[in-house]
Structure 1
Amino acid sequence: MLWSGWGDPGKATGLAPEVLELLAEALGVTPSAEEPAGFGDVRLSASGLSPFVLDSLRSIVGAERVRTDADARIRHTRGKSTPDLLKMRRGDGSDAPDAVVLPGSHHEVSEVLRICSDEMVAVVPFGGGTSVVGGVTPDIDGYTGVVTLDLRRLDKLVSVDEESMLAELQPGLRGPQAEELLNARGLTLGHFPQSWEYATLGGFAAARSSGQASAGYGRFDDMVEGLTVATPAGDWELGRAPRSAAGPDLRHVVLGSEGAFGVITSMRLRVRRLPVWRKWDAWRFPSFGAGREAMRVLAQERRLPAVIRLSDETETMIGGGSGCLMVVGWERGEPPRFADAENLGAEPAERWAEGRFGGPYLRDALIAAGATVETLETAAHWSGLPRLYEAVRLALEAALGRVIVMCHVSHLYETGASLYFTVVTAAGDDPLARWEAAKAKTNEAIGLAGGTISHHHGVGRDHRAAYATEIGPVGVGVMRAIKKSLDPMGILNPGVLVP
Structure 2
Amino acid sequence: MPMDTTSTSRRAGHARSWWGWGSPERALPDAECLALAQLVPGAAHAPRPVPPIASLDLPPARIPMSPTLAHLMSAAPADRAAHTYGKAFRDVVRALDGDLSAAPDLVAFPQDGRDVADLLDWASGAGVAVVPYGAGSSVVGGVEYRAGLHAGVLSMDLSGLNRVLEIDRVSRAARIQAGVLGPDLEAQLRPHGLTLRHFPQSFEFSTLGGWLATRAGGHYATLHTHIDDLVESLNVVTPVGVSRSLRLPASGAGPSPDRLFLGSEGALGVITEAWMRLQDRPLHKVSASVAFTGFPAAVEALRAIAQSGLHPANCRLLDPGEAALSGVARGGESVLVLGVESAHGPVDGRLAELVALARDHGGSPADPAPDGGGSAADAWRSAFLRMPYVRDGLARMSVISETFETACTWDRVPELYEAVRREVGAAVHRVTGSPGLINCRFTHVYPDGAAPYFTVVAPGRPGQEVAMWDEIKSAATETLGEHGATVTHHHAVGRDHRPGYDRQRPEPFALVLHAAKRALDPAGILNPGVLIDATAS
User: Same fold per TM (> 0.5)?
Assistant: yes
1:387 to partner: Cα distance: 1.7
Show the counterpart of 1:4. 19
Q: 1:88 aligns with which of 84, 95, 113?
A: 95
**TM-score, normalisation: structure 1:** 0.94
Show the counterpart of 1:21. 38
Aligned pairs for 1:480-499 within 5 A: 480-499=514-533
Is 1:427 paired with 2:449?
Answer: no
Instruction: Call closer, same or farther: CA 1:29–1:446 in 2, change over 3 Å.
Output: same
Aligned length: 489
Q: Letter of the 2:18 partner, please give it.
A: W
Is 1:46 paired with 2:60?
Answer: yes
Show the counterpart of 2:251. 244
Aligned residue for 2:222, secondary structure, equals helix
Any conservation in 2 of the 1:190–1:217 contact (CA below 8 Å)?
no
Aligned residue for 1:476, secondary structure, equals helix
Aligned residue for 1:496, secondary structure, equals coil
Is 1:195 paired with 2:169?
Answer: no
Q: Deviations over 1:390-436 (max 9, x none)?
A: 22222321111121011100111111110101110111141111111
Show the counterpart of 1:207. 214
Show the counterpart of 1:282. 289
1:288 to partner: Cα distance: 2.3
**Coordinate RMSD, CA, aligned:** 1.7
Any conservation in 2 of the 1:280–1:350 contact (CA below 8 Å)?
no
Any conservation in 2 of the 1:23–1:29 contact (CA below 8 Å)?
yes
Q: Letter of the 1:371 partner, please give it.
A: V
Show the counterpart of 1:468. 502
Is 1:391 paired with 2:419?
Answer: yes
Any conservation in 2 of the 1:287–1:312 contact (CA below 8 Å)?
no
Aligned residue for 2:146, secondary structure, equals coil
Aligned residue for 1:55, secondary structure, equals coil
Identity %: 37
1:140 to partner: Cα distance: 3.9
Aligned residue for 2:389, secondary structure, equals helix
Q: Deviations over 1:153-190 (max 9, x none)?
A: 10110111121111111111101111111111111111
Show the counterpart of 1:350. 378
Any conservation in 2 of the 1:32–1:370 contact (CA below 8 Å)?
no
Q: Deviations over 1:177-227 (max 9, x none)?
A: 111111111111111111001100000000111113242543111101100
Any conservation in 2 of the 1:395–1:438 contact (CA below 8 Å)?
no
Show the counterpart of 1:412. 445
Show the counterpart of 2:68. 56
Could you tell me how far apart the structure 2 residues matched to 1:372 and 1:382 are?
A: 30
Could you tell me how far apart the structure 1 residues matched to 2:46 and 2:527 are?
A: 34
Q: Letter of the 2:264 partner, please give it.
A: S
1:16 to partner: Cα distance: 7.4
1:304 to partner: Cα distance: 2.0
Aligned residue for 1:284, secondary structure, equals strand
Q: Letter of the 2:449 partner, please give it.
A: G
Aligned residue for 1:168, secondary structure, equals strand
1:35 to partner: Cα distance: 4.5
Show the counterpart of 2:6. none
Larger mean CA deviation between 298-307 and 264-273 belongs to: 298-307
Aligned pairs for 1:125-140 within 5 A: 125-140=132-147
Could you tell me how far apart the structure 1 residues matched to 2:365 and 2:320 are?
A: 17
Instruction: Call closer, same or farther: CA 1:214–1:181 in 2, change over 3 Å.
Output: farther
Aligned residue for 1:411, secondary structure, equals strand
Any conservation in 2 of the 1:191–1:214 contact (CA below 8 Å)?
no
Q: 1:445 aligns with which of 467, 471, 479?
A: 479
Unaligned runs of 5+ in 2: 1-15, 369-374
Unaligned runs of 5+ in 1: none
Is 1:75 paired with 2:78?
Answer: no
Q: Deviations over 1:280-335 (max 9, x none)?
A: 21110122222221121122121121111000111112234131011111114220
1:9 to partner: Cα distance: 1.4
Aligned residue for 1:423, secondary structure, equals strand
Show the counterpart of 2:321. 314
Any conservation in 2 of the 1:409–1:420 contact (CA below 8 Å)?
yes
1:17 to partner: Cα distance: 6.3
1:371 to partner: Cα distance: 0.7
1:255 to partner: Cα distance: 0.5
